[in-house]
């Protein structure tokens, strides 16, 4: 059976060329043994798209932490505008949606880890609890996430124990009378900090 590897670019010339020429196998075919062809094409699409955009170019010198965060936020905004995730993705099975999102995240994490984290927190980590714990009245939030209208944030981390969910001390208790949640943070050690994407 013939395998199409024409969409995979050749590796750049370098010091490993002599060893690559001695190989008794086609590395591109081997790559397709380990990676689904459609998911690999998705990754290549991400890399090729971002490679052409000036906001994704590597700075010539080191940046301050503040500038790194600012640029990562701008990169995330730009990434979302590229519409690399199809609008009907939320209608796919959980398995297919998960595989597609992982391909996107793998592509981002290899080249732009800060953008990858912001993307992961802002979409699946935000959307999944709303989808699984919410009701019909929350459906518009899920659709807004997938349509790139909103981006979520996550306030899980507490001062005393990071994101160890079993030891979280902040509680949310529903008050039937007022139909509100009463949030109780008992002390500073339970304070929320390091809010992702805020």
Predicted model pTM: 0.75
CA angle centred on 78, ends 77 and 84, rounded to 5°? 105
Cα(118)–Cα(114) distance, rounded to whole angstroms? 6
- Decide if 185 contacts 169 (C-beta within 8 A): yes
Q: Is the pLDDT of residue 136 over 70?
A: yes
Average pLDDT over residues 22-50: 94
Could you tell me whether strands 171-175 and 180-184 are parallel, antiparallel, or unpaired per DSSP bridges?
A: antiparallel
Per-residue pLDDT tens over the stretch 86-123: 667 778 888 888 898 899 999 999 999 999 999 888 88
Q: How far is 105 from 114, CA to CA, in rounded Å?
A: 11
Question: Quick one: average pLDDT of 124-133?
Answer: 86
Judge whether residue 66 has pLDDT over 90.
yes
| Res 123: pLDDT | 84
Q: Residues 30-44: what's their mean pLDDT? A: 94
Ranked by mean pLDDT, the top range of 69-73, 92-96, 130-134 is: 69-73
At 173, is the secondary structure helix, strand, or coil?
Answer: strand
């Amino acid at each position: 059976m013939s395998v199409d590897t024409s969409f995979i670019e050749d590796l750049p010339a370098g010091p490993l060329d002599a060893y690559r020429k001695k190989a008794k196998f086609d590395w591109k075919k081997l790559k397709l043994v380990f990676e689904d062809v459609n998911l690999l094409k998705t990754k290549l699409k991400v890399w090729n798209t971002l490679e052409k955009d000036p906001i994704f170019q590597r700075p010539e010198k080191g940046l301050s932490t503040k500038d790194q965060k600012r640029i990562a936020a701008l990169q995330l905004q730009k990434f979302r505008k590229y519409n690399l995730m199809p609008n009907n993705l939320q209608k796919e099975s959980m398995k297919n949606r998960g595989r597609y999102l992982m391909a996107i995240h793998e592509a981002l994490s290899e080249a732009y880890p800060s953008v990858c984290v912001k993307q992961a927190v802002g979409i699946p980590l935000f959307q999944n609890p709303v989808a699984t714990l919410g009701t019909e009245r929350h459906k518009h939030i899920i659709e807004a996430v997938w349509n790139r209208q909103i981006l979520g944030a996550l306030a899980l981390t507490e001062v005393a124990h990071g994101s160890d969910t079993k030891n979280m001390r902040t509680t949310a208790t529903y008050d039937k009378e007022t139909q509100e949640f009463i949030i109780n943070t008992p002390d500073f050690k339970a304070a929320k900090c390091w809010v992702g994407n805020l």
